[in-house]
Each structure stands twice: as structure tokens, then as C-alpha cells.
Structure 1
Amino acid sequence: MWLSEILLRFIYPPPPSLFISAMSAISFASSASAGFQEIKGKHMKYSKFFNVGSLSSTADNKAKFSGRIGMLVAYTPAFLAGLASFALFPYGGLRFSLLRSALTIHFFKRIFEVLFVHKYSGGMEVETAITISTSYFLSTVTMIYSQYLTQGLPEPLIDLKYAGISLFLLGISGNFYHHFLLSKLRSQGGDKQYKIPQGGLFNLVICPHYLFEILGFIGVSFISQNLYAFCNAFGMAFYLMGRSFATRRWYQAKFDDFPENIKALIPYIF
């Protein structure tokens, strides 16, 4: 009872919706589980670590998109869902508008990076692209719907939305900057040779882009202050922690001169 009273100072009461409750649990559990799988060496199919060291793969026989088209398929439905929400729910107050804006900007930025920043050297299975796309779309729709259900409820006693805006802007800016630095490691001719990233926070951690992405997700949860948004943010944090751990291990194995002082995600700590 004491814990629930503290939580309700920061979040809206969970809505009487079985769908939202189930999606909150699924979002956290699935993302956290995927993070542990990354640590154990079981990687997502779109990861550069997938099938590392294998001589052949049955995946070669499966239908594929190019890497760029695959990622556009992954991100575009969620972006369109964010845009459509403004037409479907034209009113809703400042917090609701901020949340929808943040989600729409987040996926617009990802699409912009796919088109103009990232360089791709491989393909993506059609099945994988559709799975990722469905996941992002459902997550976006669920977050918007769960926020819609808070309409008319008393605001949380501790208002985090302005801190959330700051965290979101910091996260999306830092993530974009470090993605830009990563893109500079490959030549325009499609160089597939991996190099140790440098510049920005890469001198301290190997995955600063994940660190800033986590800050962005936390920012969105602060803007929203509902149960699903927090479950989604912390689930993604666990997943990206696992990804960063796997990434650092991969660089250590690939480069004999990889600096030991460079951590995975959090400078000087992890």
C-alpha cells in the first residue's frame, strides 16, 4: 500500500483496461528478456552480430529487403500512427499533445536517419522487418491510447512533463549526433570494414547512441506519466543495456587494441 501511494505521486492510476495492463507487462518482459538474450549471445536477426562466425545460414534462402527499405518498413507505420493520432484525437490537452509530438518526432528522426545518415551493407529478412514494424506500431498505438484513457483524471502530484521534454530533446539530439559519427566510419563506396568509433562520448563508452536513446525513452515516460510508458521505457533500457554489453564484447574480440577503459553504456561505470 505504501509503495502504491508513492507511485501514484508520479503516475496516473492504471486504467481499468485489460489490454493496457497486458501490454504493459508484455512490453517490459519482452524487452528485458531480449536484453538478457543479447548478453547470452542470442542476437536479433537485424543485428550485425547475428550469425557471426557461421559459414552458412538458412536465412540466405529467405526473402529480403535491402537494409534501407527494411528499416523504412520498420519505422514508417509507427510514424504514421503518431501523425494520425492528431486527426483522431484533435483535443486532449498539453500533455497529450506533447506525448504524440514526441513519438512522431522520434520516428520521423529515425526515418530521416535511414534516408540520409545510415549506411547499409546488408539486407533484412522481410519477416524480420514486418515483426519489428508491428512491434513499434503496437507500442506507439498503445502509448497514445493509454494516454487518451487518462483524460479527465487528476494530474499526478509531481509533474514530470517539463523534465521529460528536456530529457527527450537531450536524448534525441545526442542519439542523432552519435549516429552521425558512426556513419562517418564507412566510406560512401560502401566500405564494410568495422572500425573503433571515436569522437563525442565514444571515447568513454562504445554505445553512447544507446545511452541517449534510453534518455529519450525516459523523457517520453516523464511526459506521459502513465504505467505503460514507464514499463516500455525501463524494458527498452534493459534491452539496450544488453545490446551495449554485447557490442563491447564484440569489439574486444575483434580489435586487439580496443581500450579497456571504454565502458559499454554508462561512462566509468558500465
Structure 2
Amino acid sequence: MMWPIFVFPPPASVFIPVMSVFSFVVLSNGGISEVRGKHMPYSKFLNYNSGESPSQIHVSGRRGMQIAYTPAFLAALTSLVFFPRYHDFRYLLVSSALTIHFLKRLLEVQFVHKYSGGMGLPTAVRISLSYLLYTATMIYTQHQTITQGLPEPPIDLKFPGILLFLFGISGNFYHHYLLSTMRSSSSSQSNSKSNDDKDYKIPRGGLFELVVCPHYFFEIIGFVGVSCISQTMYAFSFTVGSAFYLTGRSYATRRWYLSKFKQFPQTVKALIPYLL
């Protein structure tokens, strides 16, 4: 097996292997559910075969995303600001990357994104807890590699990881910006729950000419970058699980566009140009 030359030995903790398997299974199953039509109920898939109760409390799309991202951002920021005593470059890089990742998301929520619908409050809380758990576990795993003095992997991927992270986060932002310029304001502004609503159009520009979800494609690249910076079993298992989930979400999104727009190009793939 070649993976030990890229990954830290697992810390002497049952929690980390269990969380590695848990994260991979939960995220992968989420991707399978998306393909099967059981969607995470937000954005265009709100109340779209989601089984979400119409009687539950709803918030605007913007507020729902703020709830989803803020706890994970605070956890990453806390690890970066209040635990400087470790003085470990890799730990600093992982905490910084996660802080930047969620700060970018929050800034996009406030200043970039246009929203196609609201979000059920339970959905926002569930997403928030998931992000918080995954972020805290990734930081805790990195902490354990330091405190237990585990040997560095023979092949150091920190610097390729930095480049991949920056490339992924830049591409993700660019395509989010393109999406925001393509959605015109909805004519209905009377309902306070939906005053963030926008009309969908067929995305154009950038990699949207080749795939329907290039923002997910670059998000996966960013996660690969964080995994290469971290080089822990948990980080890689989370990234693979996230890739499965985003692949399923991309497939479902392409199917949605095909159902809504007769002129949607059949040559545009879901996630990977020319392949998938």
C-alpha cells in the first residue's frame, strides 16, 4: 500500500478512525441520495421531492447560509488565534485554510450570492452542525499529530496543497460570481421569506460552457488542497466523501436544468469537463 508515504500514522485515538469512516459514509450516502432524487432541501431543491414539512420554520436563503457557515468559521478562527503555542507550520496552514474557506463563504453569502429560495431552519441547523463537526475534527486530528509526535509522511505535500487550495478557492469564487450575475431579481418581493428569491437562467461563461457545476469542481480541488496540507487520514476521507456528495449534487443539478430548460445543451456535463 502506498498511502502511508502520503499520510501521517493514525493517532492513538479510536475517535479519529471512527470519524473518518463516519464522515466518508455520511457524505457518500448524501451523494447517492441526491442521485436518487432525495435532495438536501435548499436552493433550487427546496421542497423538490425532499420530504420537508411545509409547516416547519423557514428563513431566507441568505440567513440560512449564515447559520450554516458561522459556527465552522468561528471554530477554525479560534484554533488559529487562540492556540498559537503549538508553533507547528502544518497546523497553522490547516487552520488558516479552513478559516479562509469559511470566511470566503460568509462574504459570498453577504455580498455575492443571489438566492433562489428560502431554507428550512432545521436544514440550516443540520448543515451548520455538520460543517462544525467536520471542521473541529480536522483541526483536532492535526492537533493530535503534533501532541503525539507522529513522524511526518515521507512525501511532503504541504506546498502542492497550498497551490491546489488557492486554485480551488479562486475558481470556486469566480464561478459563484458568474452565477450571481446571471440571476435577475424576482418580481415578487411581497413575502419576507422569499425576498432573496431569484430567477434561474442557464449558466454561461467560464467552465459553465462545459459543466453545470464548475463551482463544485473547484470546491473539490480546494478540499484536495486542504487534505494535502493536512496529510491526515481524516482529511483525505472527508475529501473523498465530499467529492462523492458534490458529484451526486452536480448530477441532480444537471437533471434539474434539463427538466426546466428545453434548450439546455446536452453536451454540458455535470462536474468534470468532457467526462462526467
Same fold (TM over 0.5): yes
Q: TM-score normalized by structure 1?
A: 0.93
SS at match of 2:59: strand
- Unaligned runs of 5+ residues in structure 1 are none
Label 1:160 to 1:39 Cα distance change in 2 as closer, same or farther (>3 A): same
Which residue, 147, 157, 162 being the options, matches 2:159? 162
Q: CA deviation at 1:69?
A: 1.0
Whole-Å separation in 2 of the counterparts to 1:110 and 1:53 = 27
Whole-Å separation in 1 of the counterparts to 2:180 and 2:212 = 14
1:1-270 correspondence to structure 2 within 5 Å: 3=1, 6-52=2-48, 59-90=53-84, 91-151=86-146, 152-188=149-185, 192-270=198-276
SS at match of 1:118: coil
C-alpha RMSD of the superposition: 1.6
Q: TM-score normalized by structure 2?
A: 0.91
Q: CA deviation at 1:85?
A: 0.6
Contact 1:92–1:148 (Cα < 8 Å) also in 2? no
The percent of aligned pairs where both chains have the same amino acid is 60
How many residue pairs were aligned? 264
SS at match of 1:149: helix
Whole-Å separation in 2 of the counterparts to 1:123 and 1:154 = 47
Whole-Å separation in 2 of the counterparts to 1:252 and 1:263 = 11
Whole-Å separation in 2 of the counterparts to 1:146 and 1:58 = 34
Whole-Å separation in 1 of the counterparts to 2:125 and 2:26 = 17
Label 1:199 to 1:64 Cα distance change in 2 as closer, same or farther (>3 A): same
Contact 1:15–1:150 (Cα < 8 Å) also in 2? yes
Deviations 1:196-255 (A, max 9, x none): 000000001111000000000000000000000000000000000001111111111111
Deviant stretches of 4+, over 3 Å: 188-192
Q: CA deviation at 1:121?
A: 3.9
